[in-house]
Amino acid sequence: MFNKLAGNQGIKKLLIRILASGRVPGSLLFVGAEGVGKKLFALELAKALNCRAPRGVEACDECPACLRIARFNFPQSDKSDDWNELIRTDHADVAMVVPPKRVLKVGQMRAIEREANYRPFEGKARVFLIDDADKLNDEAANAILKTLEEPPATSHLILITSRPAMLLETIRSRCQMVRFAPLSIAEMEEYLASSKTAKASETPLRARLAGGSIGRALKSDLEDYQAHRAVMMRVLEALALTGDRQQLLSVAEELNSVRYKDDYEEMLDIFEGLVRDAWRLSLGTREIVNEDLRQELGSIADKIDSRNAARWIAETETLREQLEVNINRKVATDALFLSLAAST
């Protein structure tokens, strides 16, 4: 049932309304940020279309059909050839394709086109998910156009993407688009707590770092994040509290060490996030990302103004742009930190 899924209450109502009308579109395009649940919603719709004991128009999530739709038979190897075919569930009428490498293949689209013309084997509808649909190249996209435009009455194609602008207009125009929103912090916290997928002590920070994405909340390595954040807090403290330029140069040295070489841009992200939190607190805003550092950031907020905070973020962004060319990162980091300190 849709109510077990986190967030996007409006989408739940829309899909229930469509199911109740008995006119589920043959071609749907699920659009939204990574990790907001688009694929889970698509599978729940597939269950609703094939459930043997529906509750109203929704799936029961308990009958054999629902349970088998939830089980995908993913290839057991990393060889791209093994991922070229339809990835089937234990239910004969529900399958998915994913990009074997960087693109979805023509053969995959032709397999969907061929199978969409078959009548359902055991359920009421055939459902095909096209994951990362933005990875359709022109040839593959053209191979699926006719099926998207005139899908058989008992077949449904659900394209899933976080980058709809990368799709050909001919693809977008043939699908009914459903836009998913990022989850709110409250929805994220409720999901993490109810699903017990994170430690209770980690839930507030995970929910705030995720940017509305459950996938990102679950993948975040909090130990690494907190270690990196401690380094960047030294920069913010030196800028706002102590004026210690030696500490700034010491952190610049650290950032360019072998230890942090691969995390350099992530550390700049963290620094900007800390500045934004202190800035929010200075303006009287209660909601911040690094809630567990509220007291420390509050002390910094008392010492900064909007002009400095905005300049620190702008100059950090300028450095990030310069990283696209071959610059000396150590020299650039020294210059950045000393420039940030110059007018504090």
Mind giving me the DSSP string for 27-85? EEEEE-STTSSHHHHHHHHHHHHH-SS-BTTB--S-SHHHHHHT-B---SS--GGGGSS
Instruction: Indicate if 269 and 240 belong to the same structural domain.
Output: yes
For residue 67, give Cα distances in angstroms to 52, 72, 325: 11, 11, 51
What is the rounded distance in angstroms from the CA atom of residue 194 to the CA atom of residue 296? 30
Domain count, the chain: 3
Structural domain span for residue 266: 222-342
What is the rounded distance in angstroms from the CA atom of residue 239 to the CA atom of residue 255? 17
Contact 260, 267 (CB under 8 A): yes
Instruction: Give the tens place of pLDDT for each residue, 247-279.
Output: 999 888 888 888 887 888 888 989 999 999 999
On average, the pLDDT of the chain sits at 86
Percentage of the chain exceeding pLDDT 70: 97
- The whole-number average pLDDT for the span 189-200 is 74
Candidate from 172-181, 190-199, 332-341 with smallest mean pLDDT: 190-199
Instruction: Indicate if 33 and 150 belong to the same structural domain.
Output: yes
Instruction: Indicate if 84 and 116 belong to the same structural domain.
Output: yes
The pLDDT confidence band at residue 126, using thresholds 50, 70 and 90, is very high
- 196 Cβ contact list (under 8 Å, min separation 6): none
What pLDDT score was predicted for residue 300? 92
Selected residue with higher pLDDT from 343 and 253: 253
Q: Hey, what long-range contacts does 245-254 have (CB within 8 A, 24 or more apart)?
A: 245/337, 245/338, 245/341, 248/337, 248/338, 248/340, 248/341, 249/334, 249/337, 249/338, 251/337, 252/330, 252/333, 252/334, 252/336, 252/337, 253/330
Contact 304, 276 (CB under 8 A): no
Instruction: Indicate if 24 and 167 belong to the same structural domain.
Output: yes
The pLDDT confidence band at residue 213, using thresholds 50, 70 and 90, is confident
Tell me the three state secondary structure of residue 151.
coil
Instruction: Indicate if 292 and 322 belong to the same structural domain.
Output: yes
Q: Could you tell me which of 130, 120, 5 has the C-alpha nearest to residue 61?
A: 5
The pLDDT confidence band at residue 80, using thresholds 50, 70 and 90, is low
What is the rounded distance in angstroms from the CA atom of residue 291 to the CA atom of residue 286? 10
Q: Please, which residues bridge with residue 96 across strands?
A: 87, 129
- Among residues 129, 153, 181, which one ends one of the domains? 181
What pLDDT score was predicted for residue 82? 66
The pLDDT confidence band at residue 14, using thresholds 50, 70 and 90, is very high
- Among residues 201, 219, 237, which one ends one of the domains? 219
Instruction: Indicate if 58 and 163 belong to the same structural domain.
Output: yes
Query: Which CATH number do you get for residue 253?
Result: 1.20.272
Query: Which CATH number do you get for residue 55?
Result: 3.40.50.300
Tell whether the model's pLDDT for residue 170 goes beyond 80.
Answer: yes
Instruction: Indicate if 170 and 241 belong to the same structural domain.
Output: no
What is the rounded distance in angstroms from the CA atom of residue 213 to the CA atom of residue 234? 29
Candidate from 76-80, 101-105, 212-216, 223-227 with smallest mean pLDDT: 76-80
Q: Please, which residues bridge with residue 104 across strands?
A: 136
Instruction: Indicate if 264 and 251 belong to the same structural domain.
Output: yes
Instruction: Indicate if 98 and 209 belong to the same structural domain.
Output: no
Tell me the three state secondary structure of residue 136.
strand
Instruction: Indicate if 121 and 212 belong to the same structural domain.
Output: no
Instruction: Indicate if 309 and 167 belong to the same structural domain.
Output: no
Instruction: Indicate if 83 and 120 belong to the same structural domain.
Output: yes
What is the rounded distance in angstroms from the CA atom of residue 155 to the CA atom of residue 27? 9
Selected residue with higher pLDDT from 31 and 328: 31
The pLDDT confidence band at residue 158, using thresholds 50, 70 and 90, is very high
- Among residues 153, 181, 209, which one ends one of the domains? 181
Written as one letter, the residue type at 321 is E
Tell whether the model's pLDDT for residue 66 goes beyond 70.
Answer: yes
Q: Could you tell me which of 31, 50, 237 has the C-alpha nearest to residue 134?
A: 31
What is the rounded distance in angstroms from the CA atom of residue 301 to the CA atom of residue 111? 58
Contact 88, 75 (CB under 8 A): no
What pLDDT score was predicted for residue 326? 65
- The whole-number average pLDDT for the span 284-292 is 85
